[in-house]
Structure 1
Amino acid sequence: MARAGGNPGVWGSLVLLGVCGCTVARAAALNPVRTLRVEAQTNSSINGIRCIRYGGINETQNTIDNNVTMGGLDPGSSYECSVWAEKNGVNSTWDMLNHFTAPNPVMNLSLVTQTNDSITLSWGTSQGPDFQGYNYSVQCTGNGDRSETQHVENTSITIEKLEAGTVYSVSVWANKNGVSSFPKTLNTSTAPNEVTHLQNESLTNSSVTLTWNPPDGPYSHTYTYWVHWASEEEPQGKQDPVGHGAKSKAKTNESWYEVTALRSGTLYNFSVWAERNHVPSSIQSLQVPTAPVAVNIISCISTSGGYGVILKWSCPSGGYETFEVEVGRQRSTQDGSLCEKGVSVSDLSPAQSYTATVTTVFNGLRVQSISMTCNTESTGVIAGAIVGTLLLFILVGLLIFFLKRRRKMRQPKEVPKALVSSFPGDILAKDFAEHIKENEKDSNYGFAEEYQQLALEGQGQSQMVALAPENTSKNRFRNVLPYDWSRVPLKPRHEEPGSDYINASFIPGLWSPKEFIATQGPLPHTVSDFWRLVWEQRSHTVVMLTNCMESGRVKCEHYWPLDAQPCTHGQLQVTLISEEVTENWAVRDLQLFHMEEQQTLSVRQFHYLAWPDHGVPYSPDPLLAFQKVLRQWLDHTMDGGLPIVHCSAGVGRTGTLIALDVLLRQLECEGLVGPFNFVKRMRESRPLMVQTEAQYVFLHQCILRSLQKSAPDLVPKEPVYENVASLIYENAAAIRAHDSEVSASGC
């Protein structure tokens, strides 16, 4: 035991207070100390006289005061302290007290993550000789100095139900044996709420203006906003608000930003987030294209004797997909690779001026060029020469006529042995029976020879749109594809590649280059496109020349309602109003209702029931009667769009009926008829029109039968000769077996 007045030890201190009692006269036994208590403790000290750590070494100190600090103790440890009084070598009895030193503070208090309503923290355990028995208190103080304390056993915590974009002070301390360490404090913030209603306000070919609403919460005026963008060609990569991998980034205090110096005709990915107290919110993203650049029309050169032009334009800077070419009323969509190469536009008139424009198309955005006036070359000199020649022939003819009149009593009347044509291929009505008679010789050799000349007509023209991967499944047959220049486009839908495609072509008529629309019978997945075609063309007439099922095979999807229950296809609702069925055809009145536009369109369907696929009807008479009914309807329905005609492929029966209607009107108006020439014209617009030789022969038989009714002295023959080599090839990917063709609704 150290003597009184000795130096204090180097241990930590425990402050112990006591009152000593003693007798002065003699060395009698001393009274024990009274009211022994701990006044203070640290993680390494307890005040007292003698302290023994359980399981450790004891230490004794002497003092003349009634308190003492025992230093150098272990943190978070239990100690037994004894105090006694000593005088003149006599000790009082001991007074003992058990107590604990405080734990060390937690280590490495850090932020793990934060959201708009939570903060996650972690820390290391307190250092000390014994790691057992610790728990931790976490106090979070935020808005209005409101605080909340939680207790955990682990060294991490997620504090939830916090306010977004708010700074919080978080204190953490260790507890052991009821004694707490000093707190460690970290100031941090929750993330702001994300911006809302991010949208494209406006765009040009080099800029995009974005707007958004500030995040919800009371701090909307204190936010900073970051805008990040990258093109599809240069992906954003990691969408990191800090900026790693970013292509371009800017910040603003406003709730809008105009991004400039962008590439035209390019799809960009935009990201916007809010920031407060250097903490970012979640990201809002938007994809916006820049507009393409308008082209410059370089030249417009008249060709084909004034019946067409070759239009050439520059390639615009930036990106583009297609070009929409318009010369007068001739419109077509051209591939993007055709700029600076020249595109032929036909079906124009000589000696005319046409306004030409080229519209650049990218991602649904259209920018029209400055218009140019195209002048087709004059055929006046040629026409004058023709007129002069005709006048000369007329004068010579009149001279011959008068000479013959003077000698007609002496000379027999000659019957012409050669055919007389006003134009090559056009046959006078009175010579048509002789023309058929000549072609029927040697097993229809003449018809076979004519038809063979039509075999390659129209081939080699571009069919790129029909062959696009997104469109191939929409074609019923692999080799019946519309030509790009004459196809009927649908209105494209945003972000739907191929939504403007349907297997349909414009077909010329008697006086117009676009008098009919020929299309295939709808497939199950193209019925909606078929009705879109009817609606967009504002057509009041649909002509159907096939049955839905023929010889056990599906030839056409049943696209109209079976009864009064309407069918819905996309935005269009189709209702059957009435139906009249005869032996050879049916007439149905239908009504289309556009549910978005709230408008209606009346449609009449003429359905011929007695025409076999590839073959021909047994007699011309029923078809002639059908054509007469159809023509009467068309002549009285002048306000609508073009009639839409289809069979299965939209070429064989379709081509034969269109040719019959046009040629009978030519016969009536001009007194001549040109089957070969007109079939040739149709095949320039759509392949395989009048698909088989038998149909070509039948077309002549129908015309002859019509002539026979008005001229009984003509006695026609009705041969049927089918060339089965001219077939079409089914698209197996588009046609599948359907056990049930009609749904429960009858659609």
Structure 2
Amino acid sequence: MLGSWLASPDGPPENVHVVATSPFGINISWSEPAVITGPMFYLIDVKSVDNDDFNISFVKSNQEVKTIEINDLKVFTRYSVVITAFIGNVSRAYAEGKPSAKVVITTLESVPKDPPNNMTFQKIPDEVTKFQLTFLPPSQPNGNIQVYQALVYQEDDPTAVHIHNLSIIQKTDTSVIAVLEGLKGGHTYNISVYAINSAGAGPKVQMRITMDIKAPARPKTKPIPVHDATGKLLVTSTTIAIRMPICYYNDDHGPIKNVQVLVSETGAQQDGNVTKWYDAYFNKARPYFTNEGFPNPPCIEGKTKFSGNEEIYVIGADNACMIPGNEEKICNGPLKPKKQYLFKFRATNVMGQFTDSDYSDPIKTLGEGLSERTVEIILSVTLCILSIILLGTAIFAFARIRQKQKEGGTYSPREAEIIDTKFKLDQLITVADLELKDERLTRPISKKSFLQHVEELCTNNNLKFQEEFSELPKFLQDLSSTDADLPWNRAKNRFPNIKPYNNNRVKLIADASIPGSDYINASYISGYLCPNEFIATQGPLPGTVGDFWRMVWETRAKTLVMLTQCFEKGRIRCHQYWPEDNKPVTVFGDIVITKLMEDIQIDWTIRDLKIERHGDYMTVRQCNFTGWPEHGVPENTTPLIHFVKLVRTSRAHDTTPMVVHCSAGVGRTGVFIALDHLTQHINDHDFVDVYGLVAELRGERMCMVQNLAQYIFLHQCILDLLSNKGNHQPVCFVNYSTLQKMDSLDAMEGDVELEWEETTM
């Protein structure tokens, strides 16, 4: 009997599991052997694998719980675990016990304990946008270093804060050589460099550098003239209209002081002696400057289309150059008729270094006399008059023919020809009217007539309102939104058919290893005075909250406007993206959000939120309008008007984008942006163009001001604004009763939300 109690166990412990629970601890668990042959004990041996620094053993009986927690280990260190089952004295464990297979475990990573060491930097010859760094890796990396990053502050622009990954050129166990790119010449930067492992970012080492300046980069394309809507050049006998160099020269090599226009007759452009207009016109043809220089036009991100007169420069527009005494002045004098001209731009930086573009293609001025455009206008007017005369004649003849038919008479071939001509003219007029209707995207109404205008639209149960709203294009066919349909981006769209246009969508800083990491369903929208003043976006989904806060951080937006509640109509309209209480919440790896203050009013709530990332932080204000009912639009315009003015006043001199969202980011969002625009517009102008403004907004984000109720409500807001400005007009009461009864998402929130449910991430 005693022999059987002291026999060796039949097998080792089973189901041995070792899990790293922290950078300093592991958890070991096991189960007893399949067959128990006596009073079983377990010897647990834990050793460091790569050195002899750690070696510890524990003994547990079979009656004790078969788990053990071991702490005080080293960060990111390998340990081996062996559990031996034995019977009797522990001294017999190694000789007669049954050991389990060795399990090797690595404790978890912790953030690097120290920054990169012995940091030095040197400039790269003929490079002003990047420089080279040399340093030692952290002595205690506490894990595998995944990337080295730099937090870059531009001294002359405190809002210009960027995070760059260092490009590693050479790496050994003892040294790293890297390049920091993406800077601009002529600026001074304060730079913090740090290492990142899977646990996060380590301490920073700081440096300061001023980048050199060199001549502006040469543009890759030729400058171009301006064409009219029919595709013809805007040229007269003495002038040529050209496109201003917008998005043509960049300031990467250093600040640009001014841009000049150089003009030359064809054949004289190679003459190196630049002269004045007077000499080139009356003496010998040579290149000449037309101006002293204008500031480099700002490049608005996403702007690719020509849009207005402010982007035109007219060569030859100054007839005063002919006046005696201007012979030695730089002057934009008239061009010679029937001559071929070339032009180019010259950009000069603050150091006097300059870069010329290529010359344009040759452009020929017209002959003296009437311009080609004037001739076209005269011909058009003449044709119009002849058409009216012919139409009158046709109507008269048609009336006579009808009379003859009633009398049983016949009509001549000439009269039949007149009838055929009349029908053809009717068809032409109809087609022309339809084409004109498509192009009529502005409908300005004087402020004095606006009340009467709205009353007319309200008649017959808002019939004319419905007709006008149906004529608005929901989106522009020639603007692509294909980025939103890429496989990795589709799930980020709350509604599959509300997508940002490619040309003005907000682009996040991309991670090359993650497809679509630069995508968010958000669009830059122009304000009353400033381009890109707003960012219109959808309410975040659970899976896009991180992208939302990345956008806020990267655009440095300080104002968030929320026009919905998180839960409406029995469904989630927007995922709550801020903390419920004052405890910090991490939303995107290294972004931490803390609620600092919450002020709840009847129709809105104001929250101040703190965003922290990589040791830096910023404060944003969220203005949440809660007075919008779950169905339809507000019955009273006053709360929303006050809210819009409150947000506008709170921004003061803030020039960062204002982020505005509802659920889809088009309906209530469009109303808010339009109302903000119009409250400023009516102070400066004698007219209102709600139709034109909504059409313009839909050219930047589809379906803005999404439904008829919102469109009518916007008109009511303008009426109330005008009445408050001392006009003392009776405000038209827009009856929403019919619209309010239509309790479908189709009527109240737009076709989109009726047909598509919220995307599941």
TM normalised by structure 1 equals 0.45
Between Structure 1 and Structure 2, which shows a larger proportion of strand residues?
1
Larger radius of gyration: 1
